[in-house]
A and B are shown apart, each in its own frame.
Chain A
Amino acid sequence: MESLFKRLSWISATTILLILTSIFVVLFLYAKPAIAEYGLKFLVDSRWGVEVSQPTKPQVSPSTKSSATKATPTTTPKDDNIAVNDEDIAVSDEDIAVNDEDIATDENVAVNDEDIAVSDEDIASQVPSSADEAITADDDIDIDETSKHTKVIYGGLVPIVGTILTTILAMFFAVPIAMGIAIFLSEIAPQSIAKPVGIAIELLAAIPSIIYGMWGLFYFGPLVASVFGGSSVSLLVASLVLAIMIIPFMASLTRDSMNTTPNVLKESAYAMGATKFEVIKDVVFPYAKKGIIGSMILALGRALGETMAVAFVIGGVFTFPKSLTDPTVSIPVVLANSFAESNGISLNVLFYLALILFIISFAVISFAKFYFLRDKK
């Protein structure tokens, strides 16, 4: 009985290792076709769902065909020449450029460009003759003869840059305010104020992120747009909403580590005639430094992987933002928006993105853990 339970407990603990490794492995396996297709160039390619012509017909044809047949959904109507399935939609660079402005000003822009292509007859009809690999193999051969060979290119650069930009900007906005709140709570406010405010901050950290996203879409986005111009869904709005979401989290963690500074230490600094600011700067910060940096990195990790607070307000458009007020897209938002409608290679691409996100956040959190651990010794 005793050894049985001991064994069981070991198995449970190992489940955690198992889940994490299988997340890696499963994401990798599902991403494999995309990795094979696009390789590491995916990371620096800014094209998403772009159709390009294949210069060397015979060599590439089989590989595209095989991936295409795998991807072929049975639901695709055979007689329909107009692209319906998302991965056959080929929007050339030109089309994106042309439609860019429309998309940017569109209020209900939380759809990706494939969807736009599907719903927008104009775009679709602009590329009616494009080769549809996803149409069954028989059709494929027919089209092969009549039109030039093409291949849909997916590149992850835009969402990757979008993720990094929103996170960095969010940190840029959140860190000073969170520090301010933490200093206020632990050093300035009297106990009677610090306590209820502290509780309020902690409660706000518990609010589901979708609430922040919804508020951003309906209230905060329009406000930002009216002040800074541009659309109410943009990189700026997304970063600000993200910042507001991580502020309570960061502030309460920072306050906790600032509170670990022994009072004697602070008092002896005051006794030497230091001002409050000097005590905070020279005693509290150095003492709690590792905890504070750790809490920032944890908040960073949270911002990196956040989906719902961002999905409402980033725009979901696969273009680099030329200014802060342009919409763009981040990895979690791509996943949230496109996952349900994807299959075949485009689904593999999404898994590729998920894998990238997982690796980035894994690295960031492990770094933070390492930091905390060194702190303990």
Chain B
Amino acid sequence: MRLLINKLVLILSTLAALLGIGFLFWILITLSIKGISAINLHIFTADLVDNGLRNLLFGQFVLALIAVVIGVPIGMIAGIYLQEYSYNSKYAQFIRNLSDVMMSAPSIVIGTFVYAIVVNPIGHVSGWAGAIALAIMMIPIVVRTTDDMLGLVPTELREAGVAIGAPKYKVIFNIIIKAAKVGIMTGILLAFARIIGETAPLLFTSGNSEFWTTDLNNEFPSLTVAIYNLATMPNEELVNIAWAGAFLLTMFVLIINLLGRFITKEKTK
């Protein structure tokens, strides 16, 4: 009887695993089939207004990149505070928890927040608003990564730096961060991959533009928002463009993730 139950449970969990994995591969396969068949040179050379993706790919990348430029310094320095300057005070513990909560905050709420503080006062959507929304999403991830990675650096290294007569901020920048560099870089890379696939915070902050633009003060092209809009259109051709965009986005995110994994592996070797 015991053995029977054992067998049953093992079979069930294997089946559950197969079911789950099956679904997940189904997604990837349909995405690849639809996506690859819709990809052609035209998509990379034309803007959305001419049924291409050029401006969207560029726009999404720029938004995420600006978010990195805004979010990484704040997140990193905050992470440095938590690990190096707070001596695990109650306040630091509080901020640490708060940052984790913020990491799980619904992304659409971040979007409404940025709408309220940026879009509404200005009166229209803008690239900056989108980038700010993504930066807010990014900050807690960077804080967590920096905090964790600096925590892995042995205390002796800090003491050795100080023992040689370096001021603390120099120890942090010349020694500690260098020692944790690979981990932090990987974390930032993964955070980048995460926010570049975000849609909800961009819906009413950056909006979407059909045209090629570099003007962040106006509505800005966003691949994910465009996918959302296009996919629900009754026009087959536009839906196919959405599939192509979805495929490219997924591939980009997966490649970055694999890259991050590879870097970590190389380092731990």
Binding site for B on A (CB under 8 A): 1-2, 5-6, 8-10, 12-17, 19-20, 22-23, 26-27, 29-30, 108, 110, 176-181, 183-185, 188-189, 197, 199-204, 206-212, 214-215, 217-219, 244, 247-248, 251, 275-278, 280, 298, 301-302, 304-308, 311-312, 332, 335-336, 339-340, 350-351, 354, 357-358, 361-362, 365-366, 369, 373
Contacts and interface: CB of A to CB of B under 8 A. Distances in A.
Given A16-B143, A23-B113, A188 B13 contact: yes
A307 B106 contact: yes
Interface in B108-134: 108-113, 115-117
B199 A9 contact: no
B108 to A, nearest CB: 4
B62 interface: no
A16 B231 contact: no
B23 A244 contact: yes
A358 B143 CA distance: 21
Contacts of A244: 20, 23-24, 27
B204 interface: yes
Indicate the member of B99, B115, B168, B250 with the most A CB atoms within 10 Å.
Answer: B115
Contacts of A110: 232
Given A17-B98, A178-B20, A214-B246, A339 B74 contact: no
A116 to B, nearest CB: 15
A185 B17 contact: yes
B12 interface: yes
B106 A304 contact: yes
Contacts of A335: 108, 111-112
Given A8-B77, A188-B10, A211-B197, 12 more contacts: A15-B78, A16-B99, A23-B113, A184-B14, A204-B28, A207-B197, A208-B253, A211-B249, A214-B246, A218-B30, A305-B104, A339-B111
B212 interface: no
Can you list the 7 inter-chain pairs with the closest CB atoms, starting with the nearest?
A305-B106, A180-B16, A208-B197, A9-B81, A184-B17, A275-B6, A12-B78
A195 to B, nearest CB: 12
A307 B108 contact: yes
B67 interface: no
Contacts of A210: 197, 199, 224, 227-228, 246, 249
Given A207-B254, A244-B24, A277-B5, A16 B140 contact: yes
Contacts of B184: none
Nearest to B249: A208
A180 B228 contact: no
10 contacts: A2-B168, A9-B85, A16-B95, A207-B254, A208-B250, A211-B250, A218-B30, A244-B20, A332-B108, A369-B100
A276 B5 CA distance: 10
B203 interface: yes
Contacts of A302: 104
A26 B113 contact: yes
A357 B84 CA distance: 35
Max count, chain B CB within 10 A of own CB: residue among A30, A177, A251: A177
B61 to A, nearest CB: 14
B101 interface: yes
Which residue, of B6, B92, B100, B106, has the highest number of chain A Cβ atoms within 10 A? B106
Given A23-B109, A219-B30, A278-B6, A16 B20 contact: no
A204 B5 CA distance: 31
A197 B140 CA distance: 29
Nearest to B167: A2
Nearest to A334: B108
B158 interface: no
Given A16-B139, A203-B254, A180 B15 contact: yes
B21 interface: yes
Contact of B12 (A1, A6, A180, A307): A180
Interface in B193-249: 193-194, 197-200, 203-204, 207, 224, 227-228, 231-232, 234, 239, 242-243, 246, 249
Contact of B102 (A16, A277, A278): A16
A200 B117 contact: no
A311 B112 contact: no
B49 interface: no
A19 B136 CA distance: 8
B86 interface: yes
Contact of B105 (A278, A339, A362): A362
Interface in B1-50: 2-3, 5-6, 9-10, 12-17, 19-21, 23-24, 26-28, 30-31, 34
B161 to A, nearest CB: 13
A357 B106 contact: yes
Contact of B3 (A15, A26, A181, A275): A275
B82 interface: yes
A199 B107 contact: no
B68 to A, nearest CB: 16
Give the residue among B3, B13, B250 with the most A Cβ atoms within 10 A: B13
Contacts of B204: 339-340
A170 to B, nearest CB: 13
Contact of B104 (A214, A217, A301, A357): A301
A71 B197 CA distance: 34
